[in-house]
Structure 1
Amino acid sequence: MARWAPQETDTMAAIAGEVIAQVGTNRTVVGIDGQDGTDLERVAAALVGGFQQHGVSAMAAAAPSADLDVLRADVVAPFRTTGAGEGVLVVHGQGLLATGTRNLWRWSLWVEQEDGRLERRADVKTAASAVLDVTDPDHPRREWNDAC
């Protein structure tokens, strides 16, 4: 028997709501990293759509690299200094939750799929604000990785 799963738009609106509640939307920068082979661009676009469902202005950007200085100078600083008030930038790319860069993001998302999902799980649990399973991209699932 098939199990019901929420649509991508519903899941991403719920995640956007979580971001809004936890860190707000005043020039907020969200980082999305993930397991090799995951479509981070799709996840970022869907998250932007989730923010828009909440009436929040948001846009996505591909990270030019995973270098801390490049990310700070070319992505984060321009976004934070070119406007005031509400707005969210969703940055996606491999290596954005590495030890050196994870502190750039007010909120972060790790994206994984079934194959190889435990490869970086321990490190990601401490780095990511949330984990998203995109094994079924039309029905992604927010993972709850607590120890309770």
Structure 2
Amino acid sequence: GAVDADALRDGLVRPFRRAGGDVALRPGGDPVTDVPADAVLIVAGDALQAPELRGLWNAVVYLLLPDEPLATSGGDAGSSAQEAHARYIRQVNPRRAATMIVDVTDPELPRRVFADSC
């Protein structure tokens, strides 16, 4: 689905990067005040490689899921959510832009996929 880039950037990522800053784990949520200096921020969700968010992440892990389009869009085949997800995949190609691809179609045996051209 659509991501509020400004809320994500201003309410989560920038405060997290500020040393000693309070971080709200969700936009508009209660801030966490005891974030250790060596903390790692992991943001999970759909559409996080949208153009307005590019450059915000140090690394991007793309998860290959069973029935990937339906699993990640939250919609039924042919729904507007499914169509929006398909459009996002076509326009952004998040798998290609990811730093790392991990196949989790078998949750008991996740494996890294090397999709380079060598």
- TM-score, normalised relative to structure 2: 0.59
Name the amino acid aligned to 2:112: R
Contact persistence 1:134–1:140 (CA under 8 A): yes
User: Unaligned regions of 5+ residues in structure 1, if any?
Assistant: 1-35, 37-64
Structure 1 runs (4+) deviating above 4 angstroms are: none
Q: Highest Rg: 1 or 2?
A: 2
* Structure with more strand by fraction: 1
Match status 1:109 vs 2:61: yes
Please list, as runs of the form range in 1=range in 2, the aligned pairs for 1:108-127 lying within 5 A after superposition.
108-116=60-68, 120=89, 123-127=93-97
Match status 1:95 vs 2:32: no
Distance in 1, matches of 2:49 and 2:67, equals 20
Deviation at 1:113, TM superposition (A): 2.3
Sequence identity (%): 37
Match of 1:9 in 2: none
- TM-score, normalised relative to structure 1: 0.48
What do you get for the CA RMSD once the two structures are aligned? Answer: 2.7
Q: Which has the higher contact order (CA 8 A, sep 6+)?
A: 1
Structure 1 counterpart SS, 2:102: strand
Structure 2 counterpart SS, 1:90: coil
User: Unaligned regions of 5+ residues in structure 2, if any?
Assistant: 22-34, 70-85
Contact persistence 1:125–1:145 (CA under 8 A): no
Please list, as runs of the form range in 1=range in 2, the aligned pairs for 1:1-148 lying within 5 A after superposition.
66-81=3-18, 82=21, 85-116=37-68, 120=89, 123-148=93-118
Match of 2:25 in 1: none
Contact persistence 1:107–1:129 (CA under 8 A): yes
Q: 1:66 to 1:109 in 2, by over 3 A?
A: same
Distance in 2, matches of 1:142 and 1:95, equals 21
